[in-house]
Structure 1
Amino acid sequence: MTGLIITAGTAISAMGRGVEATRTCLMEKRYTLQPDTFQPQGHGHVGRVAGVENHRLPSALQNFDCRNNRLADMALMTDGFMEAVAEACAHYGRHRIAVIMGTSTSGILTTEEAYTARRSRDEALPVGFPYADTQDLSSLPRYVAARLGVTGPALAISNACASSTRAFMDATHLITSGLCDAAIVGGADSLCRMTLQGFASLGLISPNPTRPCDARRSGISIGEAAGLTLLERDGARPRPPRPAGYGLRLLGYGASSDGHHMSSPDPTGRGAALAMQKALDRAGLPPDAIGYINMHGTGTLANDRMEDRAISSLFGRNVACSSTKGWSGHTLGASGILETMICAIALQHQYLPHCMNSETLDPTFESDILLEPRHDRLDHVMNNSFGFGGTNSSLIFGPLT
């Protein structure tokens, strides 16, 4: 692969606002999932970000106002990310910086609220309802581009729960093809009734905080998150000084689509294993070079079982792995970007987080799944994201040297 590096990054979730808050949450084993009070009849627990309701977008961009864009704006204003992009703009030009953002629901909550406010079931939505700037999938990248003042290509990736992981792949194509010099890559997904009630109707919401890979796991906890990274060619400009924990090198990526079922993963794990193998091939690494895998690990019976089979088929018990959704909840299309920043923390601090809330490993599992954190040497990490419809994505990162 052409050498691409992450020179700035941030994430916001129930774990906290920013990379340092996320690191502290992981290392201090803080409980973050709370009973669902987002809707009148709550389902299980959620990973809710504090302060979204009171956050305000700039007055010139009020037409974009929705929970999803508020989350993204909060992330933009964290960890010096806007300043990092301004420096890149000064070097490359605003027209040479792309925005590729992943989301699965965008600002659908705004439409839900508009429907709820109708006086009758036959009444239309209000004239002038800002659908294009709120619910439409393009709202997120257009908002981020407008907020940052960049004018390069802007893409929305909606690839279910693999959306923001897949965004790295599309960004790589844009940069290596010469269509842009740098890319803002990330995603956001926010709490809404559609996901909370939709997953509940599928019987996938756990009544307790989710416990991935546990023998008694009973489903997911929905969360919300936003995160962004600045992806550039290595050596294209002098590396800007950044606080510790941001620097990552994108070494490889892989994607597959097994198309087994609309909502259930292929139980054999073949599609997931293929995505991981492609990432290894692109990185030119053998399986034993990976020191840690951040699993998709949603906490459902089928997903965790499938992923264990896929990982063990390639790595045996030779690589430590865990899911961090016991802290954040399942943040859907934002999972990939949030967990990419967790991979940055793991590499920076040589720290392997465990499966939060999980106590007893499923006895049928064959991977080295962590129920307690571990300090160990890490040179390369893998980040997995798998989504409905059999969409699978894997990324491999290493530290900047």
Structure 2
Amino acid sequence: MTFLPPITAYTCVCAVGRGHDALRAALTGMVGGLTRFDDPVGVLDTFVGRVDGLDTVELPADLTDYDCRNNRLAELTLRQDGFEDRVRAARDRYGAARIGVVLGTSTSGIASGEDAFLAWSGEGPLPSDFVFEHSQDLYSLSDYMRRRLHLAGPSYTISAACASSTKTFIDGAQLIAAGLCDAVVVGGVDTLCETSLRGFNALQLLSPVPCRPNDADRQGISIGEAGGFALLERDDCGRGDMPRLIGYGESSDAHHMSSPHPDGLGARLAMTQALEMAGLRAGQIDYVNMHGTGSHLNDRVEDRAIADVLGASVKCSSTKGWMGHTLGAAGAVEAAIVLVALEAQIAPGNLNLERPDPEALCRPLTETVPAGLNHAMTNNFGFGGNNCCLVFSRGGPQ
């Protein structure tokens, strides 16, 4: 087994609430957070996973130039589960220059750009309160977090569609393995915006009901917003009780701009790589968090890929029925779900799954159940054929 960084802190905020406890309660209670989208122009009939309270979140006085919905969600997420304190302690141990920031997003603060163009007269510059560098720019998120946490190590943003924040775990582990960092803040944030909602509607992918991944009657995806962070530290940090990233795999099949390879070649390759790096046999994966968006093609392709690599009997489910597809933040939030599952020894159910697809090979769990989990896998597959897979192991003796 290749030993990779322990996860010494993690947190997330999504439509079901803030932090570990809210996420655990939602998973065990089978209570989701999707609500009907209140479309101001009355065109879209869909559900979204909205995070309440972002309008009242205030950034520190010296960082108000970064004010936008995405960075407000980053700030709110940072305040949960003592995450900021854990990063501060790591900074004291290693020094600011030895801690990196690698975060993922697909749209960053593009909602601020949308607002600016709506307010624009059509002549002259855009409104003065719109600063592209500090809002819509993809690096805005990582730059805000770097400044907010007073860190000075390598810092950049990954935008690889729905695999964005999954890939940050891989890059963070590699920065530590290369000796460039002693710790890395990884994760991602994405927020609701017109571009995502109208764009997925144009692709005819939005579901008119809360998304139903793996259901025979699934009708598409529900867009959500979320933030999730994790702190990876070097192997000698003395936290043997913490969960650990033990394997990862990534591929780029480049089959189509928005559709997965019909035989799931890229997905299978990423899962196989992760399994091999972890030094595990297929039967040792106790649970798989599926990418499972609720679209007909995605769910079918992933089902066959999982059955091919791990076997059709593996415990699995998609958890997007709770908070929707959070795009660039999906990997971070679903990593948090897997970490909660390992800690609580539960296998999450597949919310809104009423009639399993009769053509599916795997049988996703319909309810959250107690389970003895030692190793769990999470998949995220993005537009353009970006495929990432992570394998986590619970902390302590196994």
Confirm or deny that 1:367 pairs with 2:368.
no
The amino acid of 1:187's aligned partner reads G
* Residue of structure 2 aligned with 1:256, choices 234, 251, 265: 251
Q: Map 1:323-334 onto structure 2 (within 5 A).
A: 323-334=318-329
1:69-108 paired onto structure 2 within 5 Å? 69-108=71-110
Deviation, structure 1 residue 320: 0.7
Contact 2:186 2:231 in 1 (8 A): yes
Report deviation, 1:19.
0.8
Q: Which runs of 5+ in 1 are unaligned?
A: 242-246
> Contact 2:30/2:349 (CA < 8 Å) preserved in 1?
no
Amino acid at match of 1:282: M
Q: In the alignment, which of 375, 387, 391 is matched to residue 392 of structure 1?
A: 387
Distance 2:125 2:296 in 1: 41
Which residue number in structure 2 is paired with residue 114 of structure 1? 116
1:125 aligned partner, one-letter code: L
Identity %: 49
SS in 2 for 1:213: coil
- Give the match for residue 68 of structure 2: 66
TM-score between both structures, scaled by the size of structure 1:
0.96
**Counterparts of 1:48 and 1:38, CA distance in 2:** 13
Task: Say whether the 8 Å CA contact 1:214–1:359 is kept in structure 2.
Answer: yes
State whether residues 2 and 176 of structure 1, in contact with CA within 8 Å, keep that contact through their aligned partners in structure 2: no
- What per-residue deviation string (whole Å, max 9, x for no partner) do you get for residues 319-362 of structure 1? 11100000010000100110111001111111111111110111
Q: Residue 167 of structure 1: SS of its match in structure 2?
A: helix
Deviation at 1:126, TM superposition (A): 2.8
User: Are residues 1:382 and 2:384 paired?
Assistant: no
Q: Does 1:291 align with 2:292?
A: no
- Following superposition, the deviation at residue 39 of structure 1 comes to 4.2
Q: What is the alpha-carbon distance in structure 2 between the residues aligned to residue 354 and residue 260 of structure 1?
A: 31
* 8 Å contact kept, 2:106–2:328: yes
Q: Separation in 1 of the partners of 2:146 and 2:390?
A: 24
CA distance in 2, matches of 1:342, 1:361: 22
| Structure 2 counterpart of 1:164 | 165
Partner of 2:311: 316
How much is the aligned-residue C-alpha RMSD, in angstroms?
Answer: 1.3
Residues 31/169 of structure 1: CA separation in 2 closer, same or farther (3 Å cut): closer
Equivalenced residues, count = 394
- TM-superposed deviation, 1:136: 0.5
For 1:128 and 1:375, how far apart are their aligned partners in 2?
Answer: 50
SS of the aligned residue for 2:54 comes to coil
For 2:369 and 2:21, the matched residues in 1 are separated by 19
| Structure 1 residues 193-212: aligned runs within 5 Å | 193-212=194-213
User: In the aligned structure 1, how far is the partner of 2:227 from the partner of 2:393?
Assistant: 22
Unaligned ranges ≥5, structure 2: none
With normalisation by structure 2, the TM-score equals 0.97
Tell me which residue corresponds to 2:342.
Answer: 347
Equivalence for 2:46: 44
Q: Distance in 2 between matches of 1:3 and 1:205?
A: 38
Deviation beyond 6 Å, 4+ runs, structure 1? none
2:130 and 2:120 mapped to 1: Cα distance? 12
Contact 1:351/1:374 (<8 A) preserved: yes
